[in-house]
Structure 1
């Protein structure tokens, strides 16, 4: 069973998210001058907090537990959680996700709630599918259901399946065969994903040529940072994973130094590599300095264990839940800290 992979994926997503969060939206040069090297938590007095990347991963895991392998049941439960998540005043929610949440409240069916967008929202939450699910056909259906709930552009779906298959490949052994993984992606996305396949092939060739991830990102025109477009996010994340498949700390530091949507890119990389190295491969100092409630590190461990248990039993189970009032209070505190960072960015250095 994939117990270590599931727990490692969830915790890896959280750590990457928390380390990258203060750097979100900054160019590589300004991030270095303003905050320094992303080698520790810098969100709030040396502590870290998670954002929507981890929250969506947790909601996906909860919905998997309650669905028992039924895709329709998963979709309904994830849609219900997304509706209530929007009401809890989350800071920094993406436009497509916000719009789809509103559409769900207005009565749209989950399969029609997605907005035509190729953002990286689906990719940020799908590593856990690859960590948990062995059946590629079921994996593909679950990723599609998760993606289409918020993003209807097939590009967002294709980017998400590439991430899920990377996590699946990462947890199946220490030796990474990029060509085997890419073949699985080709089979999953078909001819419509030709552009993504070309970008992923470029990433593999770049790694084999010992090019740095930052240099590869620049070759895609991302000198000022990795954008939220999934065809920018996913190839750079894959390059980072293939460059440092067993070194969680170096991988997360590397992709954050590429700038841009740093919390999401680091969350994706953290989830993929976390699935491969398990919870023991995640730096203890990074994990221990996350300060969260009610989605605490302990709660996330329990969530991963509960998902593993449900898969072992192959049955519907009750997922660990959280106090909704505590979520609102936490989100208000989180928003205050985010605003502090926003005001700090109004001061020098500007470049």
Structure 2
């Protein structure tokens, strides 16, 4: 069911994000000594909080509902949300996204706001498109619009396409057909993405050989952790998904143990696997352990259910009985967001100072 996939994707992204957040920037050798295994929340008194990965995914979902199938309107609505999101002082925002947000405030249009960067920002919010949109070419239009709003390097777009197609494949196929998924990626990204396709093939071959995701990451030279470069992030995330396509717990913990940009990598894997297993396939204690407001777990669940009833079809004549007026868009209180972000920043600073102390 579409509802199951969308809610599972949103909550899977949030859980992966919240579990990986304390491990962000920590090497895979130091993380177990400093924090312990990623089997529970270690951010704030055994509770988890989300970061930009989940927030962008939610903003994309909200914009999809408002656009009601119009890609241009989606880009405008997402750009508007991004402008206000930047103004609320989010901690840890990527450089390319920050620069794009500033350009939007200076009057840039969505089509010209992006900066040349191959960061993993577009990939971190891409799974929701695969979870929500059936028509493949149409889905790719939304992924490209989302990517180019902040990142104009084609590499960032290729990574986002691979993630969206993985989420779509995850929800549509009880048994993963690796060759079918890869064929769709190759067709979508084109011949100019030969380096990226080569990395995805390496990931598939590594899974076939029985290598762990950490071993695969190390084979790419990521001994100190997975970086925010999309050609590092996405192949390792795909490896974790293909290694544990229906085991949410193992897929997410496996990639967090690789270190580096752990909140984003775990959010991507959580969104892909969550689209396939739904909320029921995510450990309930992990869902219940997220302490968030105003983007709470019930809020995200309602957002997913609202998106599930919107007819995301390219031809308006093919839409069903759901109209713009009946699609309820979950909103957030901007004052609550600002206060929440100040608390979040305080906790992030605490973790930063904690890392200055042993064990190393």
**Structures share fold, TM-score greater than 0.5:** yes
Match of 2:139 in 1: 139
Match of 2:239 in 1: 239
Match of 1:336 in 2: 346
Structure 1 residue 299 corresponds to structure 2 residue 299: yes
Structure 1 residue 286 corresponds to structure 2 residue 296: no
Match of 1:9 in 2: 9
Match of 1:21 in 2: 21
Equivalenced residue count is 350
Deviation of 1:173 (Å): 2.2
Match of 2:317 in 1: none
Structure 1 segment 138-287 matched on structure 2, within 5 A: 138-287=138-287
Structure 1 residue 327 corresponds to structure 2 residue 327: no
Structure 1 segment 25-64 matched on structure 2, within 5 A: 25-64=25-64
**Which runs of no fewer than 5 residues in structure 1 stay unpaired?**
none
Deviation of 1:271 (Å): 0.1
Match of 2:72 in 1: 72
TM-score (norm 2): 0.96
Would you say the 8 A contact 1:122–1:146 is kept in 2?
yes
Q: Which deviates more, 27-36 or 316-325?
A: 316-325
Q: Which deviates more, 269-278 or 187-196?
A: 187-196
Q: Which deviates more, 56-65 or 169-178?
A: 169-178
Cα distance in 2, alignment partners of residues 184 and 259 from structure 1: 29
RMSD: 0.8
Cα distance in 2, alignment partners of residues 72 and 128 from structure 1: 18
Q: Which deviates more, 311-320 or 261-270?
A: 311-320
Cα distance in 2, alignment partners of residues 16 and 174 from structure 1: 21
Match of 1:111 in 2: 111
Deviation of 1:314 (Å): 5.3
TM-score (norm 1): 0.99
Deviation of 1:192 (Å): 1.2
Partner secondary structure for residue 309 of structure 2: helix
**Which runs of no fewer than 5 residues in structure 2 stay unpaired?**
312-319
